[in-house]
Chains A and B, each alone.
Chain A
């Protein structure tokens, strides 16, 4: 066959083209075995081509060292059929022959074509390459339609998913032509979808969660359910509202006296709470900017005409915030009673969702457990929260005179996107003023 060159060292015999333009033949049976000495009249094997049953003779005398196929196998033209023992060497696999799967750029026996003409006036042409079957030509057809299961997304969105440790292919795409948007990715991480049209600040994407050391664990508590929901709400608030806190103290010595008097009059022990709530309501009327909800989805600040005070209630599942509606229209006793009822409902989980909605400002009475000042977290989407700390007896000064008085610490957090620092401070000042002058309160 034109071009098929057998190796000069006769280390192996490449199957030649047995017919006209054949590429392969089926090995029917071997007529020799390793170790046999053969001559040019010895038959090596019987092979079946698509034209005939053919006997393949040995091309040269030698000793057979290895048979390169099994009966029934399809042997390729140009591939080794039989190996011979090369003189002086053991019948080892010659290094030159490689497996059929490889494309090798080895020099073909290093011998140029018979007439010595390399076919080029400059440079050298050498080497033969065989192409693995993997790349064998197949009838050309249209490329298979792309398999789905892979998300469509811009590189920018893919980055967000990667940073959040999310497999983007698991996120449903709500964008144009089904693409996964940044909002889709963020929504996927929180379990709740972000509001439609809301574009969260993609810059603040957290890094993937670190692994936690399990050593020394005394108790494992499932972080799920109500606690998880509360945690998520707090998380959202901190991430969305820009918190700033202003603190102050109110001299409630006089107010405390009033409180005790009032309690005797109504026949019910009143805490500071209803008084503080009243002060807040009055102050909110004077500073309406703090009596608002922020609607980020529509980029609106909703200044409310009603005053619904959210009251922070501590439960064994965490913080709950029921709402006292129209708190500015309630009497002190009303306020006290409502708070008591709502707190009870929180603790025994009979509180309804509606009873926790619609708040316009929050009061958190942390003082009942301890602590002076705090950095309360806004009850989003409200824009302000006041934390009242523990009242303490202290030595106070007034007009140069010392006296023993009662001090109530107050911490006000506001959403700085909506409330200016000055506005917040002014509000707190008003509250303090009202608390220090009880006659204006009741």
Chain B
């Protein structure tokens, strides 16, 4: 049997074990294909029925940010709360035959490449509708019952939610090991300007932005890529979505370069969310520091010889964009 045969058989066994009726699995193509992780488009056959699905597979030993079984639990809870997310068909931290970690979800039609989304929205004129869709989706994500979330999810005590984030930023900068005084200056500012706390911590997607959404016919089809999900301050999601870096040059449209904050906020509040302006500003600064440090880490991966990706090398020259935004945000 080839590795591909093993993968196909593994996915079929996984689906059967999850109660999905399946007589055959065909691999139709790949979105990404790597030694450590791959994302495959598959067809699941059950008699005359064909279900189009996406399988994300992590090779045994690959670095797992979020285990597939936890990922699946998040997706199911978010979907039950009314958020647009893919339906989970099966998930296992050790799939049959290959031992890989894998999750299989229904395929949802939509575009995820930011510049294509922006071009399409420009023609359709539905940018504010999409911003409103995201406000509503986030309100639903933030309404997921926290006590039903997987126990391994990172949780921060509401009493120290902002202090803890400052500590984690400082630890992350330490860990990257590259002197980064502007990022440190940002953490210094954050510690001196702690915002109001949320009424309660909630599920936070952690990486919802233009690039981690599927957009179909100008409207939100699905929220994807949940691996940074955690329990924290819900305003973190709203601020991250509006960072300047995700506007792709459309500076006046704060939400992903396509919509207004008013549209986002109005929909979020209409769907039950509570907007805290001081926390929105604080998280905008906090996540700008986080991304400055994250880009530095990516460049370090290249510089240390752990990757030959030219994209990771280029990340080092994008750090200054975040530093510039940060300095403008904390201007005295």
Partners in one complex: no
On B, residues with C-beta under 8 Å from A are none
